[in-house]
Chain A
Amino acid sequence: MLGRWQTRLFSVIFVGGIWTAAITPLLPSRPLPPDASRLAGLYVVTMSAVGLIAALGVVLWEPLWHLLQQFRWEKDWPPVFFLLQAVPEGAVVHWVLGRLISGGILGWPWYLLDFGTTWLVIFAVIHGPMRVVFLRWRFRGGRIL
Chain B
Amino acid sequence: MAHQALAPASSLGELRAIPTWSDHLVGGAGIEIQDVPFVTVGGGLGSFVMIDLLRIAGCPVSKLRVLTALKYPWQNYEYLTRVSQIPPSGRLRSDSASCPDNIWGFPSYAVREAVSAGNLKGFLAPLWNVLTEDVLCDYWTPKAGQVFYAMKREADRIGYWETVSNGQVALVHKRDQGGYFTLLIPPAGGRPVAYRSRFVHLAVGYPGLRFLDDLQRYRQNYGDHHRVVNAYEPHEHVYHELNRRGGTVVVRGGGIAASQILDRLISDRTAHGHATNIVHLLRTYVEGAHGPSLFMRRRGGGGWAYQGFNCPKSTWGGQGRARLQKLEGQDRVQLLQTMGGTTTARRKRWRGQLDKARREGYYRALAATVEEVVPESPGTVVVRLRPAGESGTVELGVNFIIDATGLEADLSSHPVLDDLLDHGVARRNPLGGLDVERSFELRGGRCGPGRIYAAGAATVGCYLAGVDTFLGLQIAALEAADDLATIGFCERIGVARSIAQWWKWARGRQP
Q: How far is the CA of A134 from the CA of B106 in the complex (A)?
A: 12
Known: A71-B294, A132-B499, A138-B97. A76 touches B318 (CB 8 A): yes
Residue of A whose beta carbon sits closest to that of B471 = A139
Given A73-B297, A135-B103, CB of A80 within 8 Å of CB of B131: yes
Contact of A128 with B493 at beta-carbon distance under 8 Å, contacts A71-B295, A81-B135, A141-B322 already known: no
Contact, CB under 8 Å: A75 / B313: yes
Interface membership of A74, Cβ < 8 A: yes
Write out the residue numbers on chain A whose beta carbons fall within 8 Å of the beta carbon of B133: 78-80
Count how many chain A residues have C-beta atoms less than 8 Å from C-beta atoms of the other chain: 24
Q: Is A88 an interface residue (CB 8 A)?
A: no
Q: Which residues of A contact B475 (CB under 8 A)?
A: 139
A136 within 8 A of B: yes
In the complex, A70 has a CB within 8 A of chain B: yes
Interface members, chain B 260-303 (any A CB < 8 Å): 291, 294-299
Contact A134 B495 (CB under 8 A): yes
Cα distance A70–B97 in the bound complex, in angstroms = 22
- Report whether over half of chain B's contact residues are helix, strand or loop; otherwise say mixed: loop
Which residues of the partner chain B approach A134 to less than 8 Å between Cβ atoms? 495, 498
Q: State the Cβ distance, B95 to closest chain A Cβ, in Å.
A: 9
Is A135 a contact of B478 with CB atoms below 8 Å? yes
Contacting residues, chain A, for B307 (C-beta < 8 A): 73-74
CB distance from B440 to the nearest CB of A (A): 13
A133 in contact with B495 (CB, 8 Å): yes
Q: Is A33 an interface residue (CB 8 A)?
A: no
A76 and B478 alpha carbons, distance in the complex (Å): 22
From known contacts A74-B312, A78-B135, A135-B104, infer whether A140 and B295 are also in contact, taking CB-CB under 8 Å: no
Point out the residues of chain A lying under 8 angstroms from B495, CB to CB: 133-134
Check if A30 is an interface residue, CB within 8 A of chain B: no
Q: Which of A80, A133, A141 has a CB less than 8 Å from the CB of B318?
A: A141
**Inside 8 A of A131's CB, which chain B residues have their CB?**
97, 104-106
Q: Is the CB of B134 within 8 A of A140?
A: no
Does A129 sit within 8 A of B, measured CB to CB? yes
Does B330 belong to the interface (CB within 8 Å)? no
Asked if A73 and B298 sit within 8 Å, CB to CB, the answer is yes
CB pair B106–A74 under 8 Å, yes or no, is no
Known: A70-B295, A74-B314. Is A138-B135 also a contact (CB below 8 A)? no
Instruction: Encode contact with B along A100-143: 1 for CB under 8 Å, 0 otherwise.
Output: 00000000000000000000000000001101111110111100
Residues of B within 8 A of A138 (CB): 97, 105, 317
Chain A 67-87 interface residues, beta-carbon cutoff 8 Å to B: 70-71, 73-76, 78-81, 83
Inside 8 A of B299's CB, which chain A residues have their CB?
73
Chain A residues, CB < 8 A from B135? 78, 80-81
What's the Cα separation between A136 and B308 when bound, in Å?
23
Q: Check if B136 is an interface residue, CB within 8 A of chain A.
A: yes
**What 0/1 readout, one digit per residue, does chain A (8-49) give for beta carbons within 8 Å of chain B?**
000000000000000000000000000000000000000000
Chain B positions within 8 Å of A83 at CB level? 131
Which residues of B are interface residues toward A (Cβ below 8 A)? 97, 103-108, 111, 130-136, 291, 294-299, 307-308, 312-314, 316-322, 475, 478, 493, 495, 498-499, 502
Subset of 29 A-B contacts with CB under 8 Å? A3-B318, A70-B295, A71-B295, A71-B297, A73-B291, A73-B297, A74-B134, A74-B308, A74-B312, A74-B313, A75-B318, A75-B320, A76-B318, A78-B133, A79-B130, A80-B133, A81-B135, A131-B106, A132-B104, A132-B106, A132-B499, A133-B498, A134-B495, A135-B103, A135-B478, A138-B97, A141-B314, A141-B319, A141-B321
